[in-house]
Structure 1
């Protein structure tokens, strides 16, 4: 495995993990009634997901150009982190919206 491959994998894991962490913090902020902070954390999660998505798009572009991207357990693990982060962020948005509605009543 070459260094470039590991950088891609670690980028997916790092940005995915950061995004999930921000989404978790956003839920905690919303539970405390700090909805402005929760919204800021969701935006930070979105920025992290964009960075991971840009990495993923680069891999897809390489593959489309005929430069095979190595798929190994590390890559699967990185993709798993990214997909879980996306799902977690989407659910966090729904939870925050429910908490916002409850707070308004």
Structure 2
């Protein structure tokens, strides 16, 4: 098996664009879910978080493709743009988890507010 550095300028561009795009899409869905939860729309928030998770999965699939290729012998030069894409994905994952927890807190707060208003 020969290992050589692959010129992936176009491929890298596609990979980076895909990871950043899907990550940004996921982040947008997560923040929309948070907004919906603040309005008490927890079904809508759940639906947005499902869309967020689907976009994260797509970003992971692109990332996994690159990992598979590297394990198969392709050698990629790590570039700042790829580091940026990975950073974008990791930030989205972190924010998704935080937003998930905030939605649950909003659910608890909403339940308490409803109980107080019912008195």
Q: TM-score, normalised by structure 2?
A: 0.85
Cα root mean square deviation, aligned = 0.9
Residue 15 of structure 2 is matched in structure 1 by: 8
SS at match of 1:71: coil
Query: Is structure 2 residue 111 aligned with structure 1 residue 104?
Result: yes
CA contact (8 A) 1:30 1:38 kept: yes
Q: 1:91 aligns with which of 73, 88, 98?
A: 98
The CA distance in 2 between the partners of 1:70 and 1:92, in whole Å, is 34
Q: TM-score, normalised by structure 1?
A: 0.96
CA contact (8 A) 1:62 1:69 kept: no
Q: 1:51 aligns with which of 25, 33, 58?
A: 58
Q: For structure 1, which runs of at least 5 residues remain unmatched after alignment? A: none
Query: Is structure 2 residue 42 aligned with structure 1 residue 42?
Result: no
